[in-house]
Structures are given as structure tokens and as C-alpha cells.
Amino acid sequence: SAVFVSPGVLLAIHANERTTLALCKARADKKFPTAFISPENVSTEWRGNEGYRRRVFNIVNKETQTQRIAVGETINEPGQWSSFPPHKHDRREEKSGKVVEAALEEIYYFRIKPETGFGFQRVYTKDGSCDESYVIRDGDVTRIPGGCHPVANMPGHQLYYLWMLAGDERVYVWNTDPLRYGTYMLRLTAYDKAGNTKADTHYVYVLTEPLLPAAAVTAEFATFSSLPVDAACDNFGNIYV
């Protein structure tokens, strides 16, 4: 569960048992209604495929009125990567009048089960001005001012992290690092027999070499996988959803 409050609001929290609380803060000069977010109001989705499959919980999301902040959780299955394909959100960029990347700072707070496990995170920029790798242990925190920031988890352990995003505007879009591959995204939504959409949405990232022309993406993947492509992609592998 979570509670969102604006600056100047007093909040008292009482726990009936041993509890871990995370206080996520961002600069704000506007006030919005206080909101209690119960587990039932948290949207969930599976992202990735074999090797980089994880579950994402969007807690303070677009449905919560805030000025800058967004909060969520990611759980890596054993031996899986996340924040993959590597992506960044460190500058505002527009194309054809549409925001294709937002400037957002981010913080990760990690927990690992069993606690003796560890993971890795690499934070790097295209120009090489930043290229750092960290050993992640239970209880660690990393600050991501910019650059791509993938996470790897060791086998036999579950890696969790609480993430907090904040920027000057509530636009949550990012650019992927195409490396030497084209990066495209398929969004798969499950339906029941009555045609109703199920709660979970599964994201599958497809890496191709050589790069496919943008005009060929939909036809190519519709033929290859018989699945709808719910994204547009330019020649550099940037995803627009």
C-alpha cells in the first residue's frame, strides 16, 4: 500500500507489526488531493522475455494526481535481467511535436531473497562520460541521474527494487539503447473467451540484426509471430507507444 501527500500535509502512520517504510520525495509547489493506493489499485504487468523477464507494479502511476513523482516496484525472477533492453530518460527530446524522451531522475532501493545473494547494475552513457558498474546487495540504494541502467540478478535468488521517478513534467517516455541491434517491442494482451481484457499485459522485446526499416516492422513481426505490434519504431530502434 502507499499514500501520496502534497507538501505541507501532516501524515501519521501507525504500524501494528514490524514494518519497513519507504519515503519517496520530489520537489513540488502544487497541491493535489491526498490519495491512498491499496494493493487492488496497483496495476501490474509482465515485461520482457526469456533472460529478462520481470513483473512491474505501478503504484503511484498516471491515475494518481501528482506534480512530478512516480513510484513502482520491479521483481526480477532468478537469473533474469531488468531495465532491459537498456533505456535512458535523461533529456527532453521531441520528434514531430511528440515527446519521445523525458528528463527524469531515478532511484532504486534493492531487496534480495535470500539476503546472501547479489546482483549487478551498470550505469552508462553513449558518450562514455559515465560507465560504472555496481555490486547490488540486499538493502542497497542506487541513484541514476542519467544514462542507461540495466540490472542483472543471480540464479536462485529473487531481486526486488522500489523505483522512484521524478522530473519537471509527468511524461514517462524513454529511449532504448539499440546497441548494434534494432530493438522493437510487441505488447501482448490476454483475452478471455468472452473477449474481455485480462489484467496483465506482457511485453516482449525483439532484437533484430540487421536493423529493419521502420515501415517493415509491423508486417515483419506480424508475419513472424502472428502477434499484433502495438508500437511504432524508427530506424534507430527508438520505441514510441
The pLDDT of residue 191 is: 46
Strands 81-82 and 232-233: unpaired
Give exposure, 126-140, as e/b (b: 16+ Cβ within 10 Å).
eeeeeeeeeebebeb
Question: Which band of pLDDT confidence, cut at 50, 70 and 90, is reported for residue 240?
Answer: very low
Give the closest residue to 22 by CA, choosing from 167, 159, 144, 162. Answer: 162
The pLDDT of residue 51 is: 86
pLDDT digits (tens, 9 = 90+) for 53-62: 899 999 998 8
Contact 53, 151 (CB under 8 A): no
Q: Which residue has the higher pLDDT, 113 or 1?
A: 113
Give the type of residue at 227. Answer: L
| Cell 532491459 found at | 84
Give the closest residue to 122 by CA, choosing from 139, 101, 102, 136. Answer: 136
Across 21-30, average pLDDT: 93
Question: Which band of pLDDT confidence, cut at 50, 70 and 90, is reported for residue 82?
Answer: very high
| Rounded Cα distance, 230 and 239, in Å | 10
pLDDT digits (tens, 9 = 90+) for 173-215: 887 765 434 444 444 444 444 555 544 444 444 554 444 444 4
In terms of Cβ atoms closer than 10 Å to its own Cβ (0-12, 13-18, 19+), residue 148 is buried
**Residue 222, phi then psi, degrees to nearest 5:** -65, -35
| Rounded Cα distance, 85 and 184, in Å | 10
The pLDDT of residue 149 is: 94
| The model's pTM | 0.75
DSSP-assigned letter for residue 39: G
The pLDDT of residue 239 is: 38
Three cell numbers, residue 93:
527530446
